[in-house]
Amino acid sequence: MPPLLFTLLNNEISLRLGRLSLASKILDTPNCILNTVRGSVLHLTPDNLRLLPFQAVGITLEQFLDVQPPASTKFPGGAHEFFNFQEYLLYVDIHDPAKQIKARVNSDKFISVRTHQGIRQLTLADYLSYMNAYKPDFFAAFSDSLIQKNHGDKRVQKSIDRTLKWLDDTLDRVEEDTNVFGVLGGHGIREERVRSAHETAKRKVAGFLLNVSEIGDTSEERLDLLRTSLSHLPQEKPRLVYGLGTPGDILRAVSEGADLFDTSYPSEMANNGHAFTFKFATDSNASDMTLSMNLWDKSFARDFQPFVPSCECHACQNYTRAYTHHLLIAHEMLANVLLISHNLFVYGRFFERIRNSIKMKTFDEDMRQFLHRYEGQAQIEHSMERDTEPKTKELIIN
């Protein structure tokens, strides 16, 4: 595969503006990678998908591992063509960013993966052979990821050792210019997070993956642990983060130096009948303080406006709240299509506005206003702490 290039477009340590490129494909960061389920973006046929502002798609391998090797690896044209994502940057991970299995048994020989027919085992050799067939633009390294809240120190250390060994094996075996994202670990143990970040950064990886979805009880704790890892990573490589999705968390993670996210949050909200109403860095004096509206609510039965009147998404341009409410009540699948079309569109635009805000050097003020509007005073105070002292020192003290 051609090399994945990452260029930082500004010189700020934490407020990063970057550009990921591979051949003619470009992904400006901060940004998100579209999640898929069995190789499709939830509820969206390819024509509806292409109405949305996205350039990168992530495939979850475990969803195809009911039978190994998966049939899709036998397709001669690679994963881009098989899944009809030719024009997208294609990323592969083993696990689903949205659904981590609770009891995962891994060993030196294999890791456990969740398929539609139950738990299966995957070896490094098989994983690499599937990646060789898929030829994605970049993929997550084989890793001994921990997904329970509490693990002993020894288990955490072992997971990092294993993950690093597998990373070395991987980089030995793959062709040059294979774009592998190193998976960072360390769980809730700061020293181990630092070690994992340092050691992974020494290897020839194209970027880093940090999953904070199962650590910390609050998003503040998750952000704190994220910060611990991020501050030990080199500037010139992209950082993909799972486990943070609300607009407030995205803003905070961006200000900590995260570049890429997944789309679990907008998808989950759509599946719950919610349409995003939040706005970031706009002139509008929106008095609405809610992030989303619940279309199941009876109050929308006779509301003949679009979700967001100024929104340019396909759903808002053509359909009303009352119609979506009707579709939800009638259990019609089109409700999900409209809600996810809107939420993903808004989410994609949200990242566009974040980049623009960083470019215009108004990000801190835009973020402060956003958090004030949507999260209230308490949250703002917390988020403002970040600028008070350089983060790089913080960990060593801990």
- Residues making up the annotated binding site for Zn(2+) are 311, 313, 316, 342
Q: Which stretch binds other proteins (CB under 8 A): 132-140, 164-172, 236-244, 300-308?
A: 300-308
User: Which residue is it, tokens 């020494």?
Assistant: 202
One residue of 29, 72, 196, 343 binding other proteins per CB under 8 A: 72
In whole angstroms, what is the distance from residue 39 CA to residue 367 CA?
34
In whole angstroms, what is the distance from residue 275 CA to residue 255 CA?
26
Identify which of 362, 361, 367 has the alpha carbon closest to the alpha carbon of residue 386. Answer: 367
Q: Which stretch binds other proteins (CB under 8 A): 72-80, 88-96, 350-358, 371-379?
A: 72-80
Q: Which stretch binds other proteins (CB under 8 A): 25-33, 102-110, 231-239, 324-332?
A: 324-332
Whichever of 47 and 385 has its CB closer to other proteins, that residue is 47
Residue length of the chain? 398
Binding-site entries: 311, 313, 316, 342
Where would I find the H helices in the chain?
46-49, 78-82, 124-134, 153-173, 190-202, 219-230, 247-256, 264-271, 314-318, 321-329, 334-359, 363-375, 377-384, 391-397
In sign, the C-alpha dihedral spanning 338, 340, 344, 346 is positive
- 69 preceded by cis ω (within 30°)? yes
Q: Least separation, in Å, of the C-beta of 59 and other proteins?
A: 11
Do residues 19 and 55 make contact, with C-beta atoms less than 8 angstroms apart?
A: no
Q: Residue 319, interface with other proteins (CB under 8 A)?
A: yes
**What binding mask, one character per residue, do residues 1-40 give for other proteins by CB under 8 A, x or -?**
------------------------------------xxxx
Q: Least separation, in Å, of the C-beta of 294 and other proteins?
A: 18
List the interface residues with other proteins, window 202-261 (CB under 8 A).
none
DSSP 8-state secondary structure symbol assigned to residue 62: G
Identity of the residue numbered 38: R
List the interface residues with other proteins, window 99-118 (CB under 8 A).
116
One residue of 4, 17, 34, 41 binding other proteins per CB under 8 A: 41
In whole angstroms, what is the distance from residue 210 CA to residue 132 CA?
24
Q: Residue 323, interface with other proteins (CB under 8 A)?
A: yes
Q: Residue 302, interface with other proteins (CB under 8 A)?
A: yes
Do residues 199 and 228 make contact, with C-beta atoms less than 8 angstroms apart?
A: no
Whichever of 82 and 280 has its CB closer to other proteins, that residue is 82
Q: Residue 327, interface with other proteins (CB under 8 A)?
A: yes
Q: Which stretch binds other proteins (CB under 8 A): 18-26, 272-280, 329-337, 359-367?
A: 329-337
Do residues 48 and 317 make contact, with C-beta atoms less than 8 angstroms apart?
A: no
Query: Footprint of other proteins on this chain (CB under 8 A)?
Result: 37-48, 64, 67, 71-72, 74-76, 82-84, 116, 301-302, 304, 314, 318-319, 322-323, 326-327, 329-330, 332-334, 336-338
